[in-house]
Amino acid sequence: QPIESGETPIFIAAQNGHAEVVEELIKAGANIHKLSYGVTPLFMAAQNGHSHTVKLLLNAYVKNNAKFKINEIICDICTPLFVAAQNGHTEVIEELIKFGANIDKPSNNGDTPLFVAAQNGHAKVVDVLVKAGVKFDNSSSTSTPLFMAAQNGHTDVVKILLDLYVKLDANPKIDETIGEVCTPLFIAAQNGHIKTVKLLVEAGANINKTAFNGATPLFIALQNGHTEIQGILGR
Q: What is the pLDDT of residues 48-71, one digit of tens each?
A: 999 999 999 999 999 999 999 999
Instruction: Between 235 and 219, name the one with better pLDDT.
Output: 219
Which pLDDT does position 114 carry in this prediction? 95
Which pLDDT does position 140 carry in this prediction? 67
Which pLDDT does position 136 carry in this prediction? 77
Which pLDDT does position 139 carry in this prediction? 65
Mind listing the pLDDT tens digit for each residue in 74-103? Answer: 988 999 999 999 999 999 999 999 999 999
168/201 Cα distance (integer angstroms): 19
Asked whether the predicted pLDDT for residue 3 surpasses 90, the reply is no
Which pLDDT does position 198 carry in this prediction? 96
Which pLDDT does position 2 carry in this prediction? 80
Mind listing the pLDDT tens digit for each residue in 97-151? Answer: 999 999 999 999 999 999 999 999 999 999 999 999 998 776 666 789 999 999 9
Which pLDDT does position 138 carry in this prediction? 61
Which pLDDT does position 59 carry in this prediction? 97
Roughly how many angstroms between the first and final C-alpha of the chain, as a whole number?
69
**What residues have CB less than 8 Å from 213, skipping those under 6 apart?**
none
Asked whether the predicted pLDDT for residue 234 surpasses 90, the reply is no
Q: Average pLDDT, whole number, for the chain?
A: 93
> With contact defined as beta carbons under 8 Å apart, do 206 and 200 qualify?
no
Residue 229 to residues 6, 108, 158, 162, 210: CA-CA distances in angstroms? Answer: 55, 38, 17, 20, 16
